[in-house]
């Protein structure tokens, strides 16, 4: 059970360093499944990762693992149009 902070709602209380390992490991397992985002949606999982990142006492390794998960959850970047330097003529 998570410890509650005075005046905070249960959903807003971030994990601490003591519970972060288990929570991050859970997210890593769940997000390794190809269909994880179809069940709850990408926004849900992104929110879970962000909630963990909000913990002030995370270790650098925790933050590194969470950043990796954030990268995996980020929407794919649209292909950028490259300029070849050659003039284009329109007719």
Give the three-state DSSP class for 73.
Answer: helix
Predicted local confidence at residue 87, as pLDDT = 57
Q: Determine the pLDDT at residue 68.
A: 95
CB 31 within 8 A of CB 45: yes
Is 14 within the bounds of a domain?
yes
pLDDT band at 84 (very low <50, low <70, confident <90, very high): low
pLDDT top residue among 2 and 56:
56
* pLDDT value of residue 10: 45
* Statement: residue 58 has pLDDT above 60: yes
Give the per-residue pLDDT at 41.
86
List the CATH number of the domain containing 61.
1.20.58
35 within a domain of the structure (yes/no):
yes
Task: Write the DSSP assignment of 8-72 as a string of letters.
Answer: --GGG----HHHHHHHHHHHHHHHTSTTHHHHS-HHHHHHHHHHHHT-TT--HHHHHHHHHHHHH
Tell me the per-residue pLDDT of 30-48, one tens digit each, with 9 for 90 and over: 888 877 777 788 899 999 9
Domain count, the chain: 1
């Amino acid at each position: 059970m998570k410890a509650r902070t005075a005046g905070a709602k249960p959903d807003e209380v971030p994990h601490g360093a003591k519970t972060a390992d288990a929570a991050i490991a859970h997210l890593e397992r769940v997000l390794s499944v190809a269909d994880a985002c179809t069940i709850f949606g990408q926004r849900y999982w992104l929110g879970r990762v962000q909630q963990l990142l909000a913990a002030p006492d995370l270790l650098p390794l925790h933050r590194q693992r969470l950043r990796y998960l954030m990268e995996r959850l980020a929407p794919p970047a649209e292909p950028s149009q490259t300029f070849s330097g050659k003039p284009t003529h329109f007719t």
